[in-house]
């Protein structure tokens, strides 16, 4: 091979060995095969200086070198592309045997869980579940329940009025009236739902909370039925070790009336901040349905008698889950709520 061509070839082989990526390969191609300033083009230009007999041989050799350089650059290009592709595959490899990240799923609110449990217990005792309006007229929330016009509970300092004639219900007892207007005794119903009062929030009070109303009207229903039903309910709900007590009380719509308490879930009766030192927490009110209430819904009090109760669901949730402040139930702090999943 011509001396200068073999020098170009040597130089090319050295440069080619060092070409590691697409950029260096592109400069390599330029350096040797570039039309204007490439080394092979430069060699071709020397052809005119040669004698006639050398020209043909030199031409053949330069074309052969050009073909060799082109083939080698092509081979290097393929090798670099294959290396790049392999690197990309290695980088993006997915290990299908790795455990997946499970999707977070929601769950029911503790109040809903407790309400469902209460419903299950009473349904197992033969009660049906009723619903009632949260916005109510004074007739259903007060008058039909024998609550006189002068009663302090009707005051706007205790009740949230929506207008002159409508208020947010202060108790689920309104459902007693709706139910007895719709259905005639014998009847056994419970009515869980939201109620509203202008109460100052503290660990056992909220301005919005949940109650469950109970109503059992039939012939010869007595106070013993009421006591037996609620004692059985508390036992099924919380277990036999919780103590309950019935305290004489007053509600305009029941006579006689009794307050139902359970032993404090925080101090177990010794007295603490939650039970305000008494050792007991009020679960709800109860009593025998007042004859005036039965008469208002055209049920004969001589023939039928009944008991009713209204229990605080928030306080039952606190007892069940060991929550020492019912306000936590409405703060919507997911760190708190996640515990009940």
Residues near ligand FA5 (CB under 6 A): 171, 173, 197, 199, 205-206, 209, 211, 251, 254, 257, 282-287, 308-310, 312, 314-315, 326
User: Which of 207, 229, 204, 232 lies closest to 218, judged by CA?
Assistant: 229
DSSP reduced 3-state for 120: helix
Residue with Cβ nearer ligand FA5 (10 or 336) = 336
Query: Rounded to an integer, what distance in angstroms lies between the CA atom of residue 252 and that of residue 67?
Result: 111
* DSSP conformation class of 157: T
Question: Min. distance of Cβ 176 from ligand FA5 in angstroms?
Answer: 7
* DSSP conformation class of 279: S
Question: Min. distance of Cβ 271 from ligand FA5 in angstroms?
Answer: 19
Question: Min. distance of Cβ 333 from ligand FA5 in angstroms?
Answer: 19
Question: Min. distance of Cβ 283 from ligand FA5 in angstroms?
Answer: 5
Residue with Cβ nearer ligand FA5 (69 or 289) = 289
Q: In what order do the strands lie in the sheet with 187-196?
A: 128-129, 187-196, 208-218, 305-312, 280-289, 254-263, 244-251
Q: Please, what is the end-to-end C-alpha distance for the chain in angstroms? A: 85
Residue with Cβ nearer ligand FA5 (69 or 326) = 326
Question: Min. distance of Cβ 173 from ligand FA5 in angstroms?
Answer: 4
Establish whether the linkage from the previous residue to 186 is cis, with ω within 30° of 0. yes
CB 288 within 8 A of CB 256: yes
Residue with Cβ nearer ligand FA5 (38 or 284) = 284
User: By Cβ distance, which residue is nearest to ligand FA5?
Assistant: 312
Residue with Cβ nearer ligand FA5 (72 or 199) = 199
Phi, psi of 39 (to 5 degrees): -65, -35
Question: Min. distance of Cβ 101 from ligand FA5 in angstroms?
Answer: 40
Residue with Cβ nearer ligand FA5 (19 or 283) = 283
Query: Helix axis angle, 3-18 relative to 22-33, nearest 10°?
Result: 170
């Amino acid at each position: 091979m011509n001396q200068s061509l073999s020098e170009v070839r040597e130089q090319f082989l050295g440069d080619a060995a060092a070409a590691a990526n697409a950029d260096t390969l592109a400069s390599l191609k330029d350096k040797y095969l570039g039309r204007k300033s490439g080394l092979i083009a430069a060699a071709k230009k020397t052809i005119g200086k040669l004698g006639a007999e050398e020209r043909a041989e030199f031409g053949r050799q330069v074309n052969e070198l050009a073909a060799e350089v082109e083939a080698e650059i092509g081979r290097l290009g393929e090798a670099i592309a294959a290396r790049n592709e392999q690197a990309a595959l290695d980088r993006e490899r997915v290990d299908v045997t790795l455990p997946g990240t499970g999707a977070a799923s929601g769950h029911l609110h503790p109040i809903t869980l407790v309400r469902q449990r209460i419903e299950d217990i009473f349904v197992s005792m033969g009660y049906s579940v009723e619903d009632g309006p949260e916005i109510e007229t004074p007739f259903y929330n007060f008058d039909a329940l024998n609550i006189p016009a002068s009663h302090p509970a009707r005051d706007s300092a205790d009740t949230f009025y929506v207008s002159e004639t409508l208020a947010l219900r202060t108790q689920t007892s309104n459902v007693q009236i709706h139910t007895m207007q719709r259905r005639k005794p014998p009847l056994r119903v419970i009515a869980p739902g939201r109620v509203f009062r202008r109460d100052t929030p503290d660990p056992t009070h909220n301005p919005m909370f949940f109650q469950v109303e109970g109503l059992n009207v039939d012939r010869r229903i007595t106070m013993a039925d009421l006591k037996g039903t609620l004692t059985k309910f508390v036992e099924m709900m919380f277990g036999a070790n919780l103590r309950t007590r019935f305290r004489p009380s007053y509600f305009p719509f029941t006579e006689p009336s009794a307050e139902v308490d359970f032993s404090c879930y925080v101090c177990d009766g010794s007295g603490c901040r939650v039970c305000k030192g008494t050792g007991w927490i009020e679960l709800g009110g109860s009593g025998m349905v007042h004859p005036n209430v039965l008469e208002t819904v055209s049920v004969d009090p001589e023939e039928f008698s009944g008991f009713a109760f209204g229990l605080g669901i928030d306080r039952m949730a606190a007892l069940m889950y060991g929550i020492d402040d019912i306000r936590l139930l409405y703060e919507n702090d997911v760190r708190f709520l996640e515990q009940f999943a």
